[in-house]
Amino acid sequence: MEKLDQDSLHALKVAFCYMPKSIEVNEFDFAGRVDKVLQDIETVKEILLANDTDPDEVYGEINPDDSPNSCY
């Protein structure tokens, strides 16, 4: 898989911040689309990982003033 350029990677990170977390995906909010939404979330996570980006760290990177400080 080819790496994304920096602008595209940044855009994907921003979009990922607005995506629901997997735990938030339910039949009430995503009627008939739960499996598709979960699959899309996993696809984005895979692309981030392939570009040396930890999906769990993206929100803090994009929104440093709105993120709790890490203790590790």
Q: Mind listing the pLDDT tens digit for each residue in 4-22?
A: 999 999 999 999 999 999 9
Please provide the DSSP assignment of 3-28 as one string. Answer: PPPHHHHHHHHHHHHHSPPGGG--TT
Q: What is the mean pLDDT of residues 36-64?
A: 96
Comparing 65 with 58, the larger pLDDT belongs to 58
> What's residue 37's pLDDT?
98
> What's residue 66's pLDDT?
82
Nearest Cα to Cα of residue 62 among 8, 22, 10: 10
> What's residue 9's pLDDT?
98
Q: Residue 67: is its pLDDT beyond 70? A: no
